Amino acid sequence: MTSNLKKAEFVLGLGQISYTTAPIDKIQKTFKQKNLRFLYGRDLALSKILTGKNSFVSKNGSWIKEGDLYLNSKLAGKPTIILLRNSLALINTKKSVKYHSDGEEIPFDDDKAVEILEKAKKESSAYHILRSKDSIATKDFGKNEDTIWLFKDLAEEYGDFLHSKRIISVPLYFDNSDYINNQKNAYINQLWLGSLSGNSSVFGDNGDLDSYNGAFGVSDKTTEDNTPKRSSHETKIYIPNQKIINRNVKILTDVLGGNRNLKDLEKVIGFFDNYINK
């Protein structure tokens, strides 16, 4: 039995976002059948920014593509949490669900965990050692190493968006040091980003992959990074920054959704005119 899937929002730059609730192995099965993948943290941030605080995306939390890895002091010298761009818990979701349904952590090979730790000590887009479990002020998203890694080039803009919705800080929920050290081996988990009403909290300590939580999916053909790239041979071409692009994309989205007047398209026309004539 697979989960039900419904269309949630259309997000320019990503495409149609769909949503379903089920144990995560059933979600993954449904996504594969429909050629969808889980949203990365940056995808979800972009979706919230462009669809606004009252959208389905902003009102619902979601599992994301990223995950986390825990190492005790025996393996890492001190209790350590590593964020993973591609969650290891998604490799075998049936196994992950079974461990959580039994009330256990999902074990991971100690030697492989140490290998990942060594990679994470270097600058890496795939792995990141969590600097702190303290709440992060939304006005600091653009300079905080953890949010920069998770939300990439949208970190500052996403923080501004949340701050404008009266979310002053975002709580982080991860296992504490004593708990990590009480585990005999390394273990993995899945990241969850909360809804706006839940302060867009970041959870890395969920033990409920077997529960009927939700996830957003997008076409598997969509890459994780939609940032315009500048070729080394195009140094004279004007590339607008992401905030400007997103602002104009949101106007288009609102007009198409009937939430703005057609007259507002003049602003977008002005943007393209400026872009072309730079």
Ordered mean pLDDT values, 10 residues apiece, the chain (278 residues)? 80 94 97 97 97 95 98 98 98 97 97 98 93 98 97 97 97 97 98 96 96 95 49 41 71 77 67 52
Would you list the domain boundaries of the chain?
A: 6-227, 232-278
Do 128 and 144 form a contact (C-beta atoms < 8 A)? Answer: no
pLDDT at 74: 98
pLDDT at 240: 59
Closest CA to 70 of 99, 25, 98, 106: 106
Q: What is the C-alpha to C-alpha distance for residues 189 and 120, in angstroms, rounded to an integer?
A: 17
Which pLDDT belongs to residue 250?
76
Structure tokens at 207: 């033990």
Structure tokens at 43: 């995808």
CA dist 174 and 189 (Å) reads 10
- Rg over CA atoms, the chain: 20
Tokens of 169: 């800080």
Rounded to whole angstroms, the Cα distance separating 27 from 63 reads 10
Would you give the distance in Å from CA 182 to the centre of its chain?
Answer: 29
Q: How far apart are the first and last CA of the chain?
A: 55
Question: DSSP class of residue 253?
Answer: H
Name the token pair of 3.
């989960």
pLDDT value of position 272: 60
48: Cα within 13 Å, side-chain hemisphere = 33
Rounded CA-CA distance 161/107 in Å is 37
CA nearest to 67, candidates 32, 24, 29: 24
Nearest 5°: phi and psi at 127? -135, 150
Rounded to 5 degrees, what are φ and ψ at 197?
A: -70, -20
Q: Kind of pairing, strands 80-84 and 62-71?
A: antiparallel
pLDDT of residue 130: 98
